[in-house]
Amino acid sequence: MSVEWGDQYSVGHEPFDEHHKSMVRIIDQMTELAQKGDDHAGWVARIDELITLSIKHFTEEEAELERRGYAELIDHQDEHRNLLNELLEIRGRYSEKGSKPSLEITEFLANWMAVHVGETDARYRPLFKK
Amino acid sequence: MNDSYFGISINDKEFERFRDLIYRESGIKLRDNKKDLLRQRLNKRIRSLGLMSFSEYYKHVDEDRSRAELTELIDAVSTNVTSFFREMKHFEFLTKTALPQTFQRKKNGPFELRLWSAACSTGEEPYSMLFTLLEHEELTSKWNIKLLATDISTKVLQRAMKGAYPITKMDGMPSELLRKYFVTEGDNYVLKDKFRNMVNFRWFNLINNRFPFKHKFDVIFCRNVMIYFDKPTREELVHKFSAALAPGGYLCIGHSESLANTSHDLRYIQPTIYCKP
């Protein structure tokens, strides 16, 4: 499962679109790794990359939404924080070499992106209409 | 500008006490970012009771034997943004997989579809489930639909039962669905009585030790609730859902939630969808 990038995922703010695309790219790479088998180091590196990028993106997005007085910010933040917690928990599971990359994880992440960007982020799109 | 400019302020210790109380009573774990929300939402309530501080209000909640004030408190922190056909995939799954499977499973009766929207908020979710069933009349017309919708907040339940939604917030709704299921009243689209009465709304606290349902469910939606629960509460809840599902029944959870790190006896179907073996 992968997210096909399309205009329906554009939030109307280019830097955020770029963040989203990069996140999808990392998840695609993770999917490939999970299909191939057990490049543990590569898998962990992708998770770390996704965590770093998520923190950067969520922080910037939340700050911008707050600046624009977005009414649904708290619920939006909840989704972000929850994904971060999930990611950190996933990362924890791979701190030792035992576990193999898993498609259940990449499917979860791809689905999260599709729903979060396609539905939750879509709700703030009017704020960026020129 | 200090906090008191906005009314009664809440300090960290007070917030901690409310957080513990709300967790004990509802399983909802408030994160630090909810401090401001709690302060804003309860200010009016505290003042209308003639109280001066959050500590006084805590005492008031604690001493209220009727637990009505506790309900007010949980109402204030549990409201949630929702919309019709949120996470569309679940509704597609309903028609493409869950319904056909259920019909197959129950082909010798009873000819009842039992669905539960376990945190129905203002009603968009159960009504979306209902529309999905009714829009596939060719599948569901011979079946008796039992659709239960519950929530811990009495306020959102009241709104759900009214079934009135601001026209301005219904942009995404297909016009044929609007025509079929709603009437216009002032600034709102209001569910037609006939359809509103097809959903049974009840108050229900998911952290209740026992689920009081006589019959097993074919489908349970519990979306964007577990994100507010900690791991033990989450695990317990999934066990209770599993026990409440008929074998072959489905549990749909929110896109931010995953059972990958939770012990459970359900079978993973696809992200956010699980089946009781």
Question: How large is the average pLDDT for residues B198-207?
Answer: 95
Q: Please report the domains of chain A, with CATH numbers, ordered by start residue.
A: 40-128 (1.20.120.50)
In this predicted structure, the answer to whether residue B34 has a pLDDT above a threshold of 90 is no
Q: CB-based contact (8 Å) between A77 and chain B? A: yes
Chain A: nearest CA to B256, how far in angstroms?
6
Residues 6+ apart with CB under 8 A from B142: B111
Q: Please give the CATH number for the structural domain made up of B3-78.
A: 1.10.155.10
pLDDT above 90 as % of chain B: 69
Question: How large is the average pLDDT for residues B22-50?
Answer: 88
Residues A23 and A29: their CA atoms lie apart, in Å, by 10
Q: CB-based contact (8 Å) between A104 and chain B? A: yes
Q: Do domains B3-78 and B88-275 have the same CATH topology?
A: no
Residues B112 and B143: their CA atoms lie apart, in Å, by 5
Q: CB-based contact (8 Å) between A99 and chain B? A: no
Question: How large is the average pLDDT for residues B159-176?
Answer: 92
Closest CB from A72, A81, A86 relative to B31: A81
**Structural domain spans, chain B:** 3-78, 88-275
Chain A: nearest CA to B77, how far in angstroms?
11
In this predicted structure, the answer to whether residue B53 has a pLDDT above a threshold of 60 is yes
Higher pLDDT, B273 or B139: B273
Predicted local confidence at residue B69, as pLDDT: 92
Q: Do the Cβ atoms of B260 and A104 come within 8 Å?
A: yes
Residues of chain A found within 8 Å of residue B255, distances taken between Cβ atoms: 111-112, 114-116
- CA-based end-to-end distance of chain B: 58
Q: Which one-letter amino acid corresponds to residue B69?
A: E
Predicted local confidence at residue B1, as pLDDT: 37
The domain B88-275 having CATH identifier 3.30.360.10: the answer here is no
Alpha-helix residue ranges (DSSP H) falling in B144-262: 154-162, 175-181, 193-196, 231-244
Q: Which of A122, A128, A44 is nearest to A88 (CA)?
A: A44
Nearest-by-CA chain B residue for A71: B81
Q: What is the CA radius of gyration of chain B?
A: 20
Residues 6+ apart with CB under 8 A from A101: A30, A33, A34, A37, A38, A39, A40, A43
Residues B15 and B38: their CA atoms lie apart, in Å, by 8
Q: Do the Cβ atoms of B37 and A112 come within 8 Å?
A: no
3-state helix, strand, coil in chain B (%, to 5): 45, 20, 35
> What pLDDT digit, counting tens, does each position of A71-114 carry?
888 889 888 988 998 999 999 999 888 788 999 999 999 999 99
Chain A: nearest CA to B99, how far in angstroms?
22
Residues A109 and A87: their CA atoms lie apart, in Å, by 9
Closest CB from B37, B81, B271 relative to A107: B271
Question: How large is the average pLDDT for residues A17-46?
Answer: 94
Q: Do the Cβ atoms of A105 and B260 come within 8 Å?
A: yes
Residues B69 and B60: their CA atoms lie apart, in Å, by 8
User: Which A positions 8-67 lie with beta carbon below 8 A of chain B?
Assistant: none
Chain B: residues touching A (Cβ < 8 Å): 31, 33-34, 37, 80-81, 83, 86-89, 227-228, 255-258, 260-261, 268, 270-272
Cα A71 to chain center, whole Å?
22
Tell whether omega for the bond before B110 is within 30 degrees of 0, i.e. cis. Answer: yes
What is the ipTM, given to two decimal places?
Answer: 0.85
Predicted local confidence at residue B99, as pLDDT: 94
Nearest-by-CA chain A residue for B89: A115
Cα A84 to chain center, whole Å?
9
Residues of chain A found within 8 Å of residue B80, distances taken between Cβ atoms: 75
Residues A102 and B271: their CA atoms lie apart, in Å, by 13
Chain A: nearest CA to B260, how far in angstroms?
8
| Residue B4 pLDDT grade (very low, low, confident, very high; cuts 50, 70, 90) | very low
Closest CB from B80, B89, B260 relative to A108: B260
- What's the whole-number average pLDDT of chain B? 91
Q: Indicate which residues of B carry an active-site annotation.
A: 41, 151
In this predicted structure, the answer to whether residue B2 has a pLDDT above a threshold of 70 is no
In this predicted structure, the answer to whether residue A18 has a pLDDT above a threshold of 60 is yes
